[in-house]
Each structure stands twice: as structure tokens, then as C-alpha cells.
């Protein structure tokens, strides 16, 4: 599904990603973990070209997204993203948040977009909130709307950047449950997370980034019980 070859990203003189190569298979759930500043967000943002890689190649399916001829908006249709900070349109209703991109980007008929939107709201447990303003929702509800909104574009893959980091503790679970059900449904996903229990339970693979390098790539059982690198050992010791 995704192939990444020697990905580098610099901001000015600072090299943030120092040659990352990996693949993500269809249907896999990948947890990306690592210390703050290790390049996790930048890595994720390069996949759907929110950041332009300095060098290296990224393929999404057959499409080389790093090819300058590639239509970036088409890539973003295929790769949905959910951020820590929700980024909902505050002045639109919940349902309008979800139907906006399908209608304006894909040219979908309003009725069809709304039918799909309602199905998705059901899926994330918010069927009764379609006319609500995002301002009236809790953080956990906002994040579930943001997930439904990303899914409304029928992406082939979803990227989550610390989707529960901005939430009060009691709301973390409801969002993780939605992500878990997506994983079970076979969605291909990469999730930057500090929820180690979640990574252990749901991820097929853990990628550990440190200093802009991919230091480990292993199934969670292996990564958490016997990390190979000293850097991963130190990291896990600090947080577990």
C-alpha cells in the first residue's frame, strides 16, 4: 500500500528525517512511537504531502506521490488524516463538516453525501449530533467527528497524529475504540501515539523513531518485551 524509500526532510539546515525506508501493507495498523521531536509528525505529514520531502520516494499504491507531476489533492483524497487538534469547521454543523469535502472536492450530490455522513456518524456513535455545532461537543466527540469527516472521502489509508493527546483522560477510550473498530474493519492505518497499551493491543507493527531515524520495526509483542536498541530500551523505561 505504502512504500517509502530513503525519505529525508530538512527544515532549513536542520535535518529532521534522516533516510527512512519502510513499507506499510494493505490492512495493517502501524503504531509510530518515539520521543518528542524525533520526527513522527513530519514523517506522517510527508506521506500525504502536508510536508514536501527533501529527497526520497513515497508510493501510495502505484502512485509515486513524490513525483512532481502528481496531483497533491488526489493524494490527500486517498490518504485521510486526523490531527491532535481536530481542526473542525467551527461554524458548520457536525453533518456539514462531514459532507463538505465530498460535495466540494468530489462533486458528490448533497443527498448522497448526507446519507454517507449519517452512516459514518452512526459508526462513531454520534448519530444524534448531526445538527450540533462542534463548539458544543466534548473533545472526544469532536475527534470522532474528525474521524468521520476523514472517512467520508473513502480514503484507502488513514493517518492519525496523536489523536488522543489533546483529550481529557475519560475521553481517550471512546476515540481509541473507534480507531480499533476501524482497524478491525481492515482499514490501513498509521497512528502516532503515546498510548502504549493501545499500540500493544491493536498494532500489527511498531515503528520506533528516534532522531529522525527508523530505529526499530517490529511486532508489538517483540518490541515491548525485547526491544533491540538501547534507545528503545531507554524510551520504554521512561514511559512504562
Cα separations (Å) of 110 from 96, 114, 154, 155, 213?
Answer: 10, 6, 16, 19, 45
Closest CB to ligand ADP among 36 and 185?
36
Site membership for Mg ion, residue 143 (CB under 5 A) = no
User: If you ran DSSP here, which 8-state letter would residue 135 be given?
Assistant: G
Q: Is 52 in the site for ligand ADP (CB under 6 A)?
A: no
Stretch that binds Mg ion, among 33-41, 71-79, 94-102, 107-115 (CB under 5 A): 33-41
Q: Are 158 and 182 in contact (CB under 8 A)?
A: yes
Contact window for Mg ion (CB under 5 A) among 32-40, 67-75, 173-181, 212-220:
32-40
Per CB under 6 A, does 141 bind ligand ADP? no
Is the dihedral angle over the CA atoms 143, 220, 41, 20 positive or is it negative? negative
The distance of closest approach from Cβ of residue 95 to ligand ADP in the complex, given in angstroms and rounded to an integer, is: 32
Q: Is 78 exposed, middle or buried (0-12, 13-18, 19+ CB in 10 A)?
A: middle
Q: Which of 41, 66, 143, 188 binds Mg ion (CB under 5 A)?
A: 41
Rounded Cα distance between 23 and 39, Å, is 17
9-48 mask for ligand ADP (x: CB under 6 A)? --x----x-----------------x-xxxxxxx------
Cα–Cα distance, 68 to 14 (Å, whole number): 23
Count, residues near Mg ion per rule CB under 5 A: 2
CB 204 to ligand ADP: min, Å: 21
CA–CA distance, 215 with 226 (Å, rounded to integer): 14
CB of 79 to ligand ADP, least distance (A): 17
Q: Count interface residues toward ligand ADP (CB under 6 A).
A: 10
Nearer to Mg ion, 166 or 236 (CB): 166
Burial 144-159 (b: 16+ CB within 10 A, else e): bbbbbbbbbbebbbbb
The residue nearest Mg ion at its CB is 41
Burial class from Cβ neighbours inside 10 Å (0-12, 13-18, 19+) for residue 40 reads buried
Q: Is 188 in the site for Mg ion (CB under 5 A)?
A: no
- Residue 36 or 131: the one with the smaller Cβ distance to ligand ADP is 36
Binding region for ligand ADP (CB under 6 A): 11, 16, 34, 36-42
Amino acid at each position: 500500500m505504502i512504500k517509502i524509500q530513503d525519505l529525508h526532510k530538512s527544515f532549513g539546515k536542520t535535518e529532521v528525517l534522516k533516510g527512512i525506508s519502510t513499507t506499510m501493507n494493505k490492512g495493517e495498523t502501524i503504531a509510530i512511537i518515539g520521543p518528542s521531536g524525533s520526527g513522527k509528525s513530519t514523517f506522517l505529514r510527508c506521506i500525504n504531502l502536508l510536508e514536501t520531502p527533501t529527497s526520497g520516494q513515497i508510493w501510495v499504491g502505484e502512485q509515486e506521490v513524490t513525483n512532481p507531476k502528481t496531483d497533491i489533492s488526489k493524494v490527500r483524497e486517498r490518504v485521510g488524516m486526523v490531527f491532535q487538534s481536530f481542526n473542525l469547521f467551527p461554524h458548520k454543523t457536525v453533518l456539514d463538516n462531514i459532507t463538505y469535502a465530498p460535495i466540494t472536492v468530489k462533486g458528490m450530490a448533497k443527498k448522497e453525501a448526507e446519507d454517507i455522513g449519517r452512516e459514518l456518524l452512526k459508526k462513531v456513535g454520534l448519530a444524534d449530533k448531526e445538527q450540533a455545532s462542534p463548539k458544543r461537543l466534548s473533545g472526544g466527540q469532536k475527534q470522532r467527528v474528525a474521524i468521520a469527516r476523514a472517512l467520508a472521502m473513502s480514503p484507502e489509508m488513514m493517518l492519525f497524529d496523536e489523536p488522543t493527546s489533546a483529550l481529557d483522560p475519560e475521553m481517550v477510550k471512546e476515540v481509541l475504540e473507534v480507531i480499533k473498530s476501524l482497524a478491525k474493519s481492515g482499514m490501513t492505518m498509521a497512528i502516532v501515539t503515546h498510548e502504549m497499551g493501545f499500540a500493544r493491543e491493536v498494532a500489527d507493527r511498531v515503528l520506533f523513531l528516534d532522531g529522525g531515524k527508523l530505529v526499530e520495526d517490529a511486532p508489538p509483542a517483540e518490541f515491548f518485551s525485547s526491544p533491540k536498541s538501547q534507545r528503545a530500551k531507554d524510551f520504554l523505561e521512561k514511559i512504562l
